[in-house]
Amino acid sequence: MSHFMVELVLDETELKTWWFTSGVAALIFSYYPGLTASQVKHILMDSGMQYNFPVKTPTKEDKEKTTPFNELSKSGKIINAYNALVMAESITKASNKTKEH
């Protein structure tokens, strides 16, 4: 099994992950306008892809420190628009079936 490292480099340009997240949220709302904001948040948090590879996160005390990628964000995942749309479709269908009965 091969291992690889990702070196996290931040300079004056801050990584703006919210651009991607809000874009996928807008995509979901455009196709499924009946979903609530809470449902879309659930979809975004649960439909991502989880990765556990080590990322260099050096400190003053430990220049070689690494952190598993999945520990670097709240969900531990990378957003996945396709999975989010599949999950939104599933939730919408389930909700529609409940309304029919």
Polymer length of the chain: 101
Dihedral class, residue 76 (left if φ above 0, else alpha if ψ from -120 to 50, else beta): left
Q: Say if 11 falls within a structural domain.
A: no
Whole-number Å distance between alpha carbons of 94 and 75: 24
Whole-number Å distance between alpha carbons of 17 and 72: 12
Residue 98 has what pLDDT? 74
For 52, residues 6+ apart whose C-beta sits below 8 A from its C-beta are: 68, 69, 70
Q: Say if 40 falls within a structural domain.
A: yes
Residue 101 has what pLDDT? 61
Residue 43 sits in which domain range? 18-100
Domain count, the chain: 1
Residue 35 has what pLDDT? 96
Residue 5 has what pLDDT? 46
Q: Say if 52 falls within a structural domain.
A: yes
In tens digits, the chain (101 residues) has pLDDT values of 344 444 444 544 445 667 788 999 999 999 999 999 999 999 999 999 999 999 888 999 999 999 998 888 888 888 899 999 999 999 999 988 777 66
Q: Say if 88 falls within a structural domain.
A: yes
Question: Is the CB of residue 52 less than 8 Å from the CB of residue 69?
Answer: yes
Residue 41 has what pLDDT? 94
Q: Say if 63 falls within a structural domain.
A: yes
